[in-house]
């Protein structure tokens, strides 16, 4: 089984804080990888290191058999990213944003127009394609950022919380789209706090807590050894040790 993404000892410090601590990821090609963890666990930091936004303090990365530190442009040509802060120009329109990305990726005019139209229709942004991004709602911005990630037809997608803040209709359509993308051979590395969605979509799971990877494997491997019929949520809570559950009743809160 070839790996689309592999890290060894990936570490990132912020001053005294170690946000990502010796993480060894292994994402098989053609898999739908769910990267889970509590708030502040280091998921977004990991994605930023993998996509070249942050320089890792230590460790090695291989993406699609390339070293992103040695050949950043080569890697970026093959990946699509939906980052935490969405990464959109406020003062470009939706159409111009897609045009910008298409031009950088060297798409021909026809390809660009056809893909952009399809993506905007899917995201229900077609009517607003000539509005400035700054006038968009948060959900609309996220859908546009997702369209930006998909436009160059990447081989590997990094999606940081793609479903948070998206309406139910769009969420469903996006899920279907992502499923068919994986079935056609694409690889997705996704973080999300909505475990029900992760459970239906992902076949590989990694769990990070306090910067350390505490579990990794296929969905079956995660379920193995536990009694039947346990949900991903139960497994996840068990892994990260649901301390909050027992503590603090907050009984003053009427």
Ligand X SMILES: Nc1ncnc2c1ncn2[C@@H]1O[C@H](COP(=O)(O)OP(=O)(O)OP(=O)(O)O)[C@@H](O)[C@H]1O
Write out the residues near ligand X by the rule CB under 6 A.
14, 17, 19, 37, 39-45
53 binds, among other proteins, ligand X, Mg ion, none (CB under 5 to 8 A by kind): other proteins
Which residues face 209 on adjacent strands? Answer: 212
Nearer to ligand X, 43 or 141 (CB): 43
Residue 227, token pair as written in the block = 């009694």
- Work out whether 187 is an interface residue with Mg ion (CB under 5 A): no
44 vs 93, beta carbon nearer ligand X: 44
CB-nearer residue toward ligand X: 40 or 72 = 40
Stretch that binds Mg ion, among 36-44, 171-179, 220-228, 239-247 (CB under 5 A): 36-44
Would you tell me how many other CB atoms lie within 10 Å of the CB of residue 229?
A: 7
Q: 133 or 232, CB closer to other proteins?
A: 133
Query: What residue 7 binds from other proteins, Mg ion, ligand X, none (CB within 5 to 8 A, per partner kind)?
Result: none
Binding mask 34-53 vs other proteins (x if CB under 8 A, - otherwise)?
-----------------xxx
Q: In angstroms, what is the minimal distance from the CB of 23 to Mg ion?
A: 15
Minimum CB separation from other proteins for residue 200, in Å?
28
Asked if 92 is part of the footprint of other proteins (rule: CB under 8 A), the reply reads yes
Query: Site for Mg ion (CB under 5 A): which residue of 4, 10, 27, 44?
Result: 44
Of 58, 60, 65, 135, the residue at the interface with other proteins (CB under 8 A) is 135
| Closer to ligand X by Cβ: residue 35 or 128 | 35
Of 103 and 196, which CB lies nearer to other proteins in the complex structure? Answer: 103
HEC letters along the chain:
CCEEEEEEEEEEEECCEEEEEEECCEEECCCEEEEECCCCCCHHHHHHHHCCCCCCCEEEEEECCECCCCCHHHHHHHEEEECCCCCCCCCCEHHHHHHHHHHHCCCCHHHHHHHHHHHHHHCCCHHHCCCEHHHCCHHHHHHHHHHHHHCCCCCEEEEECCCCCCCHHHHHHHHHHHHHHHHCCCEEEEECCCHHHHHHHCCEEEEEECCEEEEEEEHHHHHCCCCCCCCHHHHHHHHHCCHHHHCCCCCCCC
Between 83 and 216, whose beta carbon lies closer to other proteins? 83
Q: How far is it, in rounded angstroms, from Cα 30 to Cα 138? A: 30
Residue 60: CB partners within 8 Å, gap ≥ 6? 7, 8, 9, 10, 67
Confirm or reject binding of residue 138 to other proteins (CB under 8 A).
Answer: no
Residues contributing to the site for Mg ion (CB under 5 A): 44
Residues contributing to the site for other proteins (CB under 8 A): 14-15, 17, 51-55, 73-74, 76-77, 81, 83, 85-93, 95-106, 109, 112-113, 116, 129-132, 134-135, 148
């Amino acid at each position: 089984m070839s790996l689309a993404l592999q890290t060894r000892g990936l570490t990132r410090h912020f001053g005294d804080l170690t946000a990502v601590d010796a993480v060894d990821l292994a994402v098989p090609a053609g898999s739908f990888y769910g990267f889970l963890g509590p708030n502040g666990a280091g998921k977004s930091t990991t994605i930023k290191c993998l996509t070249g936004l942050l320089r890792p303090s230590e460790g090695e990365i291989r993406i699609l058999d390339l070293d992103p530190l040695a050949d950043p442009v080569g890697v970026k040509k093959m990946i699509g990213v939906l980052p935490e802060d969405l990464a959109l120009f406020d003062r470009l329109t939706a159409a111009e944003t897609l045009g910008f990305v298409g031009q950088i990726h060297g798409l021909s005019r026809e390809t660009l127009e056809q893909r952009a139209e399809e993506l905007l229709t899917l995201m229900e942004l077609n009517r607003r394609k000539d509005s400035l991004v700054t006038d968009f709602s948060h959900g609309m911005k996220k859908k546009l950022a997702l369209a930006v990630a998909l436009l160059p037809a990447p081989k590997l997608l990094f999606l940081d919380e793609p479903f948070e803040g998206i309406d139910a209709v769009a969420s469903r359509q996006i899920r279907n789209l992502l499923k068919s993308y994986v079935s056609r051979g694409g690889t997705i590395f996704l973080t999300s706090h909505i475990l029900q969605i992760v459970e239906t979509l992902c076949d590989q799971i990694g769990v990070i807590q306090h910067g350390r990877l505490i579990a990794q494997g296929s969905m079956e491997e995660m379920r193995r050894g536990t009694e039947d019929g346990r949900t991903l949520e139960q497994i996840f809570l068990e892994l990260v040790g649901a301390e909050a559950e027992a503590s603090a009743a907050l009984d003053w809160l009427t």
